[in-house]
Amino acid sequence: MNTSALSNRNYLIYLIGNTISLHGLWIYRVALGWYAWQISNSEFWVGVVAFAQFAPAVVFGPLFGVLADRFDRRAASLLINSMSILNMLLMGLLAQLGQIDITVLAMLSLMQGTLDGAHMPVRMSVVPNLVDKSQLQSAIAITSISFNVSRFVGPALAGVVIAGSGVAAAFVLNGVSYLSLIAAMIVVRLNPATERPHRPRHVWHEMGEGVRYVLSHPRIRALLVIIAVASLFGRGVLEMMPAFADEVYQRGSAALAILTSAIGAGAIVSGLVLSRGAGWLDAQVIRWAVIAGGLLIALLGLLDQFWVAVGVVVLLGIILSLCGIGSQILIQTLVEDEVRGRVSSLWGTITFGGTALGSLLVGTAASVWGLQNVVVAAGIACSATAAISVYHSRASGVRAASD
């Protein structure tokens, strides 16, 4: 039996459409961060815009997960991506006309964040329903590689587009890229499990059912806790790259593109490693990776040399993506399909919520105590919290073995 998802034509169609769309997403993210810095020159407002981009996944994540389990995932994907096109075209038009100030930008970022948050559990739930169970690990890893290839290439494209045509063109280009995913979702065939009849129940009951499932599943619960730490202290710091590029290294949007691509380059390495097999992967590996990531974040805060910092960011890309991809693989192989959307939404709520809160806290604190000082503190907090988690898991294991 071929366990490579690339041998599955159905998945391959989706992968191509999704990859094109993801390139547009990263062009948008770089343009958004740079535009926020450009029109505000404030770490606080960069943090606010990043918070607006990810916060909806926290506030509405469990609800989005219920909808992903309750409604047809193909129809949901088509609707959400169509609305994203309209939002991006509006953002591009207003930017071109010079009618965006920082508050309008934050509101439009919030709108797109809501759409991305709604699509996240749909996107995560669709992949397992495109492939056979034996191909699931490969599909998750390859999808993550696709995401991080776009993270590597997209920022470079963003730098060219912003320099040549401005941020408005970058926003419009992202809007156009959603058409590729729409086309793929029209063509692919989803496994029958996603189209089974669903007995309607109150939405709050279903949300609670998803939370209770996670709380009663020790392995999934442990993974979500450590991912919360990585997102809050790790990915929250990475959202401050626009300020690093211009304030610390004084190299402008070109440096931002390089730093963002460096994160993607490291993440590709993690994806390639995990796509070849993850029998060695467990929650304890992810905990140790978060400890190492915290130390690298603290080092990043101490560095003034740009190219040395790029090397550190590559390593951060490797480690944080090992945590993200690895936790997805472990969770998706553990979870039952009838609650997949809700559990996926909780993963997204924690991942994106931690990023949103982390970026807001770092941006706010940096405006008072300085960006580099705050980043050093965040890195130390990341490693210390993960180390406590390692100790606790070992102590629990010892107690369980003695019972």
pLDDT in tens, 381-393: 999 988 988 877 7
Asked if residue 208 is part of any domain, the answer here is: yes
Distance CA 63, CA 348 (A): 12
Helix (H) or strand (E) segment spanning residue 160: helix 136-165
| C-alpha dist (Å) from residue 74 to 44, 140, 193, 198 | 38, 18, 13, 15
Q: 122-180, pLDDT tens digit by residue?
A: 887 788 788 887 787 778 778 877 877 887 788 788 888 988 899 999 999 999 999 99
Q: Among residues 16, 6, 9, which one has the least CA distance to residue 140?
A: 6
CB atoms within 10 A of CB 394: 12
Q: pLDDT band at residue 79, thresholds of 50, 70 and 90? A: very high
> Which amino acid, residue 130?
L
Distance CA 40, CA 265 (A): 29
Does residue 316 contact residue 300 with C-beta atoms inside 8 Å?
yes
> Which amino acid, residue 253?
S
| C-alpha dist (Å) from residue 211 to 12, 224, 277 | 33, 12, 30
Backbone angles phi, psi at 41, to 5 degrees: 50, 40
Asked if residue 303 is part of any domain, the answer here is: yes
CATH code of the domain covering residue 136? 1.20.1250.20
Mean pLDDT of 362-382: 89
Query: Global pTM?
Result: 0.68
Asked if residue 195 is part of any domain, the answer here is: no
| C-alpha dist (Å) from residue 155 to 181, 194, 257, 396 | 20, 34, 5, 43
Q: Among residues 380, 259, 246, 253, which one has the least CA distance to residue 309?
A: 259
Quote helix, strand, coil % in the chain, to nearest 5.
Answer: 90, 0, 10
Does residue 379 contact residue 299 with C-beta atoms inside 8 Å?
yes
Q: pLDDT band at residue 183, thresholds of 50, 70 and 90? A: very high
Tokens representing residue 156 in the block: 């470079």
Q: Among residues 180, 182, 148, 161, which one has the least CA distance to residue 92?
A: 161
Asked if residue 11 is part of any domain, the answer here is: yes
Count how many residues are written for the chain. 403
Asked if residue 124 is part of any domain, the answer here is: yes
Q: What does the angle CA 397 – CA 399 – CA 403 come to, to the nearest 5 degrees?
A: 115
The yes-or-no verdict on residue 192 having pLDDT over 70 is: no
Asked if residue 26 is part of any domain, the answer here is: yes
Q: Which residue is associated with the tokens 């809160």?
A: 357
Does residue 49 contact residue 33 with C-beta atoms inside 8 Å?
yes
Asked if residue 89 is part of any domain, the answer here is: yes
Q: 9-20, pLDDT tens digit by residue?
A: 888 999 999 999
**What is the domain range of residue 316?**
5-189+202-402
Q: How many domains does the chain have?
A: 1
Looking at residue 395, what is its pLDDT?
60
Q: 274-329, pLDDT tens digit by residue?
A: 776 667 778 888 889 999 999 999 999 998 889 999 999 999 989 988 888 888 77
Mean pLDDT of 344-362: 79
Asked if residue 280 is part of any domain, the answer here is: yes
